[in-house]
């Protein structure tokens, strides 16, 4: 089945940014130019992305970062419209506790919570967390978790006995703001991940790969979801390096790696090779741990993946090139673009100021409200730039 969902106007694109709770800076693989990750800095990013019109932010999970739920809770009160995509970890959290946490943060944020289901792909980290399960068993746990969690957040009382999870008369007493509006995100490139996606998930997430590779995954998931009579949304995760000219953008990409030595790359790749994540293996195959041939498709660069786990590719180019590449992925069916850049505060501004205006005619009008009555503000709609001569708004 060929997955092509092109639209004349891409009025459903939503741009997300990233909260770098595992570190930030001007260069990869070095502390030089590194930035302290404290509450004021994370609040700066959250407030900036909220004000710039991003739809939401992704918070990472794992031992390499600050706890996503605590961080999200600390950012809710300084934002108004921003959604928070926060991870739940089946096997690490009982589903009833996860449902209580979900209900609490959903209510305190005024319905701005989104859930990212993360199975986890690092066997060493998993063992440190007390999880001694194979890849396939972790996905069995994920499915059992969802079979308990999903009815709980809808207000149902649940009794369930599976191979790994058992509950009796489980319930949550405080309801969600709008239980049927809570959306689940999930990423994974294995067959087991695709089956869970098709049965339970609202938005399938992919790390950024060349168009032909992500097309293959969407074909499989689309067929599986059709068998379950379900319609999915699709999201994709990229870093972004946008500058006014393509030459400047590629120079910035090179600069990002300019303090990275071969020993650091080797150590990072050795660590990443132990992961049993199919998606991580696909990321590594794009560069094979080498600085050579990092430009893997038009305006697509694999340099970040030399030392970073998870998302390892970046869109690099001038504003029009970045917008063109986004529209190509939108033509495949992706509507949610989860972006990040280095440093995250500055790059959030660059993307919002240079690329978002190119989608002004595509975006939902700012006066339209979402399901909670909030105003959608995906692009900056006020005066842009300094007033000329004290009397004229710049063109």
Quick one: average pLDDT of 82-97? 96
| pLDDT tens column, 356-368 | 999 976 644 333 3
What local confidence, expressed as pLDDT, does residue 18 receive?
A: 98
**Considering the chain, what percentage of its residues have pLDDT values greater than 90?**
71
Residues contacting residue 234 through CB under 8 Å, at least 6 positions apart: 203, 204, 205, 206, 218, 332, 333, 334, 335, 336
Note the pLDDT of residue 284.
86
What is the structure's pLDDT at 3?
Answer: 37
- pLDDT digit string (tens) for 381-390? 444 566 666 6
How far is residue 200's CA from residue 78's CA, in Å, rounded to a whole number?
A: 32
Among 79-93, 143-157, 250-264, 350-364, the least confident range: 350-364
What pTM value is reported for the model?
Answer: 0.90
Confidence tier at 278 by pLDDT (50, 70, 90)? confident
Domain range 14-388, CATH architecture: Alpha-Beta Barrel (3.20)
pLDDT of residue 274: 84
pLDDT digits (tens, 9 = 90+) for 263-273: 999 998 988 88
DSSP 334-388: EEEEEEE-SSHHHHHHHHHHHTGGGGTTTSPPTT-B-TTSPBP--S--S--SPPB
The domain ranges of the chain are 14-388
366-378 pLDDT, tens digit each:
333 455 444 444 4
pLDDT at 26: 96
Q: Give the model confidence (pLDDT) of 157-186 as tens digits.
A: 999 999 999 999 999 999 999 878 899 999
Q: Which pair of tokens denotes residue 231?
A: 């319609």
Distance CA 55, CA 6 (A): 21
pLDDT of residue 74 exceeding 80, the answer is yes
pLDDT for 6 equals 36
Mean pLDDT within 63-85: 96
The SS3 of residue 329 is helix
Instruction: Return d(Cα 318, Cα 296) in angstroms, integer.
Output: 17
Q: Please check the confidence at residue 7 and state whether its pLDDT lies above 50.
A: no
Average pLDDT (255-266) is 94
What is residue 361's predicted lDDT score, i.e. its pLDDT?
65
């Amino acid at each position: 089945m060929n997955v092509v969902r092109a639209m004349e106007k891409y009025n459903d694109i939503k741009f997300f940014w990233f909260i770098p709770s595992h570190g930030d800076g001007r260069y990869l693989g070095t502390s030089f130019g590194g930035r302290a990750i404290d509450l004021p800095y994370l609040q700066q990013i959250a407030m900036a992305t909220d004000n710039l019109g991003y739809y939401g932010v992704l918070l990472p999970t794992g031992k390499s970062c600050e706890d996503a739920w605590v961080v999200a809770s600390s950012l809710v009160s300084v934002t108004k419209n921003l959604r928070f995509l926060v991870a739940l970890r089946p096997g690490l959290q009982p589903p009833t506790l996860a449902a209580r946490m979900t209900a609490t943060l959903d209510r305190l944020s005024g319905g701005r919570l989104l859930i990212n289901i993360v199975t986890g792909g690092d066997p060493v980290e998993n063992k440190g967390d007390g999880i001694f399960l194979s890849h396939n068993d972790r996905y069995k746990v994920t499915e059992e978790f969802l079979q308990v969690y999903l009815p709980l957040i809808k207000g149902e009382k649940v009794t369930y006995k599976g191979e790994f999870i058992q509950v009796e008369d489980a319930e949550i007493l405080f309801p969600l703001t709008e239980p049927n509006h809570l959306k689940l995100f999930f990423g994974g490139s294995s067959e087991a991940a695709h089956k869970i996606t098709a049965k339970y998930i609202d938005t399938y997430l992919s790390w950024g790969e060349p168009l032909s590779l992500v097309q293959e995954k969407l074909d499989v998931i689309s067929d599986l979801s059709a068998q379950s009579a379900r319609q999915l949304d699709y999201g994709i995760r990229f870093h972004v390096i946008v500058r006014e000219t393509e030459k400047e953008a590629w120079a910035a990409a090179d600069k990002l790696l300019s303090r990275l030595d071969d020993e650091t790359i080797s150590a990072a790749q050795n660590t990443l090779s132990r992961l049993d994540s199919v998606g991580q293996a696909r990321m590594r195959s794009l560069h094979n741990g080498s600085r050579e041939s990092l430009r893997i498709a038009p305006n697509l660069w694999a340099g970040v993946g030399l030392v970073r786990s998870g998302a390892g590719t970046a869109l690099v180019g001038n504003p029009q090139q970045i917008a063109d590449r986004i529209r190509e992925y939108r033509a495949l069916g992706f509507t949610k673009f989860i972006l990040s850049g280095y440093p995250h505060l500055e790059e959030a501004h660059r993307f919002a100021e240079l690329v978002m205006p190119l989608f002004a005619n595509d975006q939902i009008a700012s006066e339209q409200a979402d399901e909670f009555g909030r105003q959608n503000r995906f692009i900056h709609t006020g005066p842009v730039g300094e007033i000329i001569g004290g009397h004229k708004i710049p063109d």
